[in-house]
Structure 1
Amino acid sequence: MQNILIYTNVDKDIGLEVTKRLVDILKSHNKSIWINYRGVCEIELKEYCIELSEIPDKNIDIIMAIGGDGTILGLAREVYHYDVPIIGINLGRIGFLAEVEIGDMENIVTFLEKGKYEIEERIMVEASITSDPDRKDMIGLNDIVINRGSFSRMIEVEIHINGKYVDKYFADGVIISTPTGSTAYNLSAGGPLLMPDALMMVITPVCPHSLSARPIVVSYTHRICVKLSEEAENEKEVPMLTIDGQEGIELSGKEDIYIKKAEKTIKLIKPKGINYYDILRKKLN
């Protein structure tokens, strides 16, 4: 892995101190370095700065993301088409995806060069909506969520799987989560934890007005349809589709949203020897 792109969340790496330190580490190992971050490229690092669209031209082997899990979620959507593995350096709160802590950064090149890592392929989800069938950018690593707008009232949603009616929920919304996203909003809403490499998705209602509504785990090969049956009466009642909790799209109210596994996966680099159950205990307690 010779050509390395550093992707920095400037809101997390204040003053780019971690980025500069990582550049020095990589330079000491004679690596070819490129940098991308939101904001004006700092003058002393300007020679390394590229746009993400230049990844194929630079033959990038690996992306080192500096930030938190949210940074990796956003990056995963941006580099979805490039098939480049990502390793995360954690400056955030949780660190399920960004597993390398700052104190271990000095060893990052060593364990990569010695092959002391694994590449996990994580499935992603893709949504399409009847009002805008040609839109192609609704892809998430964690989840697709359909929820009520700013007005505090429930929405009515019907769930269909592979064209077959499953159930109707009166709820604040519904989450369609990947295994990666099962530790996020899905968990908070009472959904089950899935192993990261599980080939499944989970449908979890949010605050359903029912004693019987429960999450449903389905195969990743299934096509899910969420039907909204009511037109929004005003702009406050317009339901939203959100992707990884970072991007939001207003829905018309009476709409069909189709959700399936995305065509490609995202590749995450993990140091060998890490026990996922240890991470769960550490991060969620």
Structure 2
Amino acid sequence: MGAKSKSKTRERATRSVVLFHNANKGHAVKALKTVRGLLESRGVKVTLAESKSAEAALETCDFAIALGGDGTMLHCSRRVLPHSVPLLGVNMGGLGFMSAVDFPGFKKQIERILAGEFRAEPRWMLSVEVRRGTRVVFGPHQALNDCVIRAAEQARAVTLDVDCGGHSVSSYFGDGIVFATPTGSTAYALAVGGPVVMPDVNAFLLAPISPHQLTARPLLVSTEQPLTAELRRRNPYDRPQAFVSVDGQIDHSLKLGEAVYLRRSEKPFTLLVPPERTHFDLLHEKLKWGVR
């Protein structure tokens, strides 16, 4: 997702790294030892993300590495964001859309990575909180991909009133809404009919989920304006139930009288990517974009 600062390569050799891994993936656990050995043999100080010293290390490290898939990247983005630490994804299986390299690729390109040749690409995140009146009851939580508001009951639709910058956008009746960043436009939002948004576009994507309205279509809005979504009764007898999900990892049961507030994160998350790779290359490789 777009940020004001331009992408650039890091200009100095790596001295310290914080290493994350998905402990639920056996091959990621095995790869941890190999990656740590490769780094330490080149004089790089390695701190494991689950260690007590990890938060202090994130204040001074050159970048962090995430061994896993896209879910691991989403989790790690929230950990590194407060420290403004770039994150390099090493895909350990699955789609790995946000990963810079796969595990064999990491071993082949480690010298380039440590020399600072990979490009730092800023991505704005979505800050999400739920309020009841003026009281915050959930969040703020940061989403790299999306915030989803969905009906909690199967085969039941909900009504969501959406405002942008204090102005009414629409009242949506359907299964819910996906609020996505450009980074998340290739995830859930794409599956419900939203467009692919290039990462450097300063916009958020609003994509209704199965709306019962012919005019309810995906919408791009500026990141400069905050968004609000409120659960509403459709009639006096309606008892709607919904939930809020941040990147599919942090959930909240949304109640009547509560509103979801969404805005651009205070600072961008930084993703490390190969300098020669374009976003179109990624679409071709991962999503088979344009394949007939």
**Residue 5 (1) aligns with residue 6 (2):** no
Give the aligned partner of residue 55 of structure 1: 57
Mark the CA change 1:227 to 1:128 in structure 2 (over 3 Å): closer, same or farther.
Answer: same
Mark the CA change 1:10 to 1:232 in structure 2 (over 3 Å): closer, same or farther.
Answer: farther
**Cα distance between partner residues in 2 of 1:247 and 1:232:** 30
Mark the CA change 1:232 to 1:193 in structure 2 (over 3 Å): closer, same or farther.
Answer: farther
**Alpha-carbon shift at residue 112 of structure 1 (Å):** 2.4
**Alpha-carbon shift at residue 253 of structure 1 (Å):** 2.6
Question: 1:31-70 counterparts in 2 under 5 A?
Answer: 31-37=44-50, 49-56=51-58, 59-70=60-71
**Cα distance between partner residues in 1 of 2:27 and 2:102:** 16
Question: Runs ≥4 in structure 1, deviation > 4 angstroms?
Answer: 231-234
Question: 1:244-255 counterparts in 2 under 5 A?
Answer: 244-255=247-258
- The answer to which of 97-106 and 171-180 deviates more is 97-106
Give the aligned partner of residue 84 of structure 1: 85
SS in 2 for 1:263: coil
- Name stretches of at least 5 consecutive residues in structure 1 with no aligned partner: 38-48
Mark the CA change 1:80 to 1:17 in structure 2 (over 3 Å): closer, same or farther.
Answer: same
**Residue 171 (1) aligns with residue 174 (2):** yes
> What is the number of residues matched between the two proteins?
271
8 Å contact 1:223–1:259 — kept in the other structure?
yes
**Residue 152 (1) aligns with residue 155 (2):** yes
- The answer to which of 123-132 and 159-168 deviates more is 123-132
SS in 1 for 2:125: strand
Q: What is the percentage of aligned positions where both structures have the same residue?
A: 29
**Cα distance between partner residues in 2 of 1:127 and 1:113:** 34
SS in 1 for 2:136: coil
Which amino acid is the alignment partner of residue 65 of structure 2?
M
Mark the CA change 1:189 to 1:51 in structure 2 (over 3 Å): closer, same or farther.
Answer: farther
Give the aligned partner of residue 266 of structure 1: 269
- Name stretches of at least 5 consecutive residues in structure 2 with no aligned partner: 1-13
**Cα distance between partner residues in 2 of 1:276 and 1:190:** 20
**Alpha-carbon shift at residue 158 of structure 1 (Å):** 1.4
**Alpha-carbon shift at residue 69 of structure 1 (Å):** 0.9
Which amino acid is the alignment partner of residue 211 of structure 1?
L
8 Å contact 1:155–1:172 — kept in the other structure?
yes
Q: How far does the alpha carbon of each residue in 1:48-88 deviate from its partner, in whole angstroms, 9 at most, with x for none? A: x445433356x222101000011010111123211111000
**Alpha-carbon shift at residue 135 of structure 1 (Å):** 4.5
Q: CA RMSD in A?
A: 2.0
**Cα distance between partner residues in 1 of 2:215 and 2:36:** 54
SS in 1 for 2:82: coil
- The answer to which of 132-141 and 2-11 deviates more is 132-141
Give the aligned partner of residue 196 of structure 2: 193
**Cα distance between partner residues in 2 of 1:125 and 1:15:** 28
Mark the CA change 1:130 to 1:36 in structure 2 (over 3 Å): closer, same or farther.
Answer: closer
